[in-house]
Structure 1
Amino acid sequence: MKLTRIVPAALLLVAAQLACTTAAASEIVLATWGGTWGKAIAEQAIAPFEKATGVTVRVISGVSLGNIQMIAAQRAAPKIDLVMATTSDAATAYGDGLLAPLDPKEIPSLAQLPESGVRRDRNGAAMFAGMWVYPYGIIYRTDKVKDAIKCWKDLWRPDLKNRVGVSSPKYMNSYFLLMANKLAGGSEADVAPGLEMVKKMGSNLVAVVDDSAGQQRMLGQGEVWAVPMVSSAAYKLIDEGVPAKFVIPCEGAPAGMDVVALVKNGPNPSDAKKFIDFYLRADTIANVTRELKITPVNRHAKLTPEHAKYTVSDEDFRRLVTFSEPAIAAGRAKWQDAWDREIAPMTRR
């Protein structure tokens, strides 16, 4: 009789241990960037989430497009729960059926994001959520340019002859061409007005530079006095002592945005949604973006005075311009071809 009482108790103990082991082994897999970006996410978001929930977050590091391609290769049996990517890569992935829509009832933090921070499909479902933005504005040398640059149209001023560098459609989502096109009254469906607008720069246009390092070098060495640049690269240059100023032009500025998305049919969607909600919270994203010196999409995030120096004000945030990611993806190769024929020969390099 004693044996019959002991055996169920032992079985119950084993079952309890197994249950605890299963709970402790709960894991989600996140595909995101490595380096400085991955370090900030790991220390300021993943570690606190693991401590608060007991859920382990396993990270796979890679560039945005590479991670999306990995998810595509796993379509039949996804092993990744979450991915962080650029909006253009995420939009393509969602259109290909690789991502699942986000339900605001399951992810309450979505309600804290501005309308521009939650990209939606044709039916109004949230495709993915913005983490941070990096405006593509203008940086100029304050020791070289007598009259402050305040607007995109200032790049066409006579006093900037042989002193302007720009980027082609293959860089930063074609933003420079699209802004020139916007000034000229064009649309994503027809960028011919923008190409003509760029041609009117004439001798002002000295270089086409399609990477931040090249832009920083040319501005730092005084080869160009003004160049459109993403905010994070611009502030890095200023921090290094280059006498320069970064501005959101009067006509507004496009902004790159990186997003977090839920992989369709991922292995642990419940905990993955918990992570998205935790990550997008004002306190969490404030800590991550402070480390990266970048602007959080969640405008409820409280910024330290030092962090605020590197971010977009509420007034400038409202002036950020968005363009259609599907239109950019569809047109960029054709726009680049036209640029190579019509614009590239204008420059000295």
Structure 2
Amino acid sequence: MLAALSCLLAVPAAHAADTEIVLATWGGSWGAAIDRNAIKPFEQETGIKVRVISGVSLANMRMVASQRAHPQIDLIMSTSQDEVRAYNDGLLDAIDVKDVPNLAAIPPFGVRRDGKGRAMGAGMWVYPYGIAYRTDQKLPDVKCWNDLWGPAFKDKVGVSSPRYMNGYFLLMINRIAGGTEANVQPGLNRIHQMGANLLAVIDDSAAQQRLLASGEVSAVPIISSAAYKLVDSGAPVRFVIPCEGAPAGLDTLSLVKNAPHRDAALKFMDFYTSAKIIGSVAAELQIQPVNDQVTVSDAQRKYTLTKDQMAKLVSFDDQSVIRNQDAWTAAWDREIAPMTKR
């Protein structure tokens, strides 16, 4: 009799659990845009409450790791590299298109997959890592990565080390120079040939914006959203996708393994990655959505890529980045960093 009563009492508790999910995501203006354009509409449409934990990608993922035995977070937004590391570590669950139908609208570039072809999460948006340069200093137009080696750019170029943006600058130059993720020496050699053009190593977007705005550097590899903030502020700056292509960072939404509210979490994931919702979030953030079905407004068009530009986006093997980034950084510190000490 008591056992039967316990079973009956357990049913309402299970339903009650489905009325809330816990999402770990960014704070600040990013968190506010996600709340306005996605969380509140989801709550209104479904009646499911979304409780938010705010923090940077890596810190949130460490929180998920600390709760491995008893997960309290259902979903996490992160960079694709943090997603892959966490998935490798058994912290995240694979996603099936039958549970998240909108996964089918995300192109292959936007879905990282494991060795069995299972999706580790759902891509939300990409941020191309191109070149921003000053247009008021009588410099040649920058159209290609190789332009940064030209004589007009002596003491004018800032670049990023492998510590920043997953080593994308080194990896892009390395690919142009004929290297691979297994051998970045061609890229290091080519960057070393920049010689007196290389003025500074700048490993955060705020410093890149500041130095470019002040004119202390004239050209710098930078993510699109940071570059467009400068453009919108009135700075004489142009952002380009170089002729050889541009690496692109990817942010993802992932399901925590043994999520306490799995079904409701999957419902939110499908809602969030729909063209309407992800399109409205991306529009406020002035960033490129991944969903192929998003309709881009005239106001948003300046922040998004054409089909030709999308075709120029370059991706690198995340597993190689995870395995080798420390070694690339050590090599950079030996061979490239001393060049700016003059």
TM-score (norm 2): 0.94
Which of 308, 313, 321 in structure 2 is aligned with 1:315?
308
CA contact (8 A) 1:166 1:227 kept: yes
Q: SS at 1:234's partner residue?
A: helix
Which of 174, 183, 197 in structure 1 is aligned with 2:176?
183
Output one character per residue of 1:289-340: Cα deviation in whole Å (capped at 9) or x when no partner: 1111111011211121111111222221121100111111111111111111
Residue 125 of structure 2 is matched in structure 1 by 132
Which of 231, 234, 238 in structure 1 is aligned with 2:227?
234
Which of 250, 254, 261 in structure 2 is aligned with 1:268?
261
Matched, 1:35 2:28: yes
Between the two proteins, what is the percent identity of the paired residues? 57
- Structure with the greater alpha carbon radius of gyration: 1
Q: CA deviation at 1:180?
A: 1.0
Residue 170 of structure 1 is matched in structure 2 by 163
Residue 322 of structure 2 is matched in structure 1 by 329
Q: CA deviation at 1:211?
A: 0.9
CA contact (8 A) 2:174 2:180 kept: yes
Residue 113 of structure 1 is matched in structure 2 by 106
Matched residue count: 334
TM-score (norm 1): 0.92
Which of 207, 223, 239 in structure 2 is aligned with 1:246?
239
Q: CA deviation at 1:146?
A: 3.5
Q: Which amino acid in 2 is paired with 1:225?
A: S
Q: CA deviation at 1:145?
A: 4.3
Matched, 1:301 2:266: no
Residue 153 of structure 2 is matched in structure 1 by 160
CA contact (8 A) 1:25 1:56 kept: no
Q: 2:317 and 2:72 mapped to 1: Cα distance?
A: 30
Give the gaps of 5 or more residues in structure 2: 1-7
Q: SS at 1:139's partner residue?
A: strand
Which of 283, 287, 298 in structure 1 is aligned with 2:276?
283
Q: SS at 1:317's partner residue?
A: helix
Q: CA deviation at 1:187?
A: 0.5
Residue 12 of structure 1 is matched in structure 2 by none
Tell which deviates more after alignment, 139-148 or 187-196: 139-148
Q: Which amino acid in 2 is paired with 1:132?
A: W
Give the gaps of 5 or more residues in structure 1: 1-14
Output one character per residue of 1:243-263: Cα deviation in whole Å (capped at 9) or x when no partner: 111001111100111100000
Q: Which amino acid in 1 is paired with 2:337?
A: A
> CA RMSD, aligned part only?
1.8
